[in-house]
Every structure is written in C-alpha cells, then in structure tokens.
Amino acid sequence: MTSISTGIAWFAEKRPILTTGVMSIISALIIGKIAVVGFGYAFALAGGGILTFKAILHGTLCQY
C-alpha cells in the first residue's frame, strides 16, 4: 500500500498541472452529479405540487 501511495505522490509532484487537471475534472463530474440529483428532486416536488393544485382546481379530489 505504501508503494502505491508513494508512486502516486511522486507522479503528482512531477506533473502538477496534469494532476490539477484530473482533479478538476473529477470535481466537476461530482458537482454535476449532485446538481442533477438535486434538480430531479426539485422538479419532482414542484410537479407534485402542480398536480395537486390542478386537481383542486378541477375538483377531482374526493370531497366528503
């Protein structure tokens, strides 16, 4: 395990621009995934509210 981490550290020291680029790409992908999931939940929540409002306007909810 130490030899692997030493090799990675050596590579990062020798090629800092490449390492920074790779980490930036990975960070952007993670942030993008979080944003997509968040927007999905937001649209689902808003869609449910809109459907409920439409049902109230049209009177299709059960009335006791």
Domain ranges of the chain: 2-58
Give the pLDDT confidence of 3-51 residue by residue, as tens digits: 889 988 898 899 999 999 999 999 999 999 999 999 999 999 988 888 8
Q: Which residues of 47-56 are buried (b: 16+ CB within 10 A; e: fewer)?
A: eeeeeeeeee
Q: How far is it, in rounded angstroms, from Cα 32 to Cα 25?
A: 10
Q: How far is it, in rounded angstroms, from Cα 43 to Cα 51?
A: 12
Structure tokens at 48: 């449910």
pTM of the model: 0.62
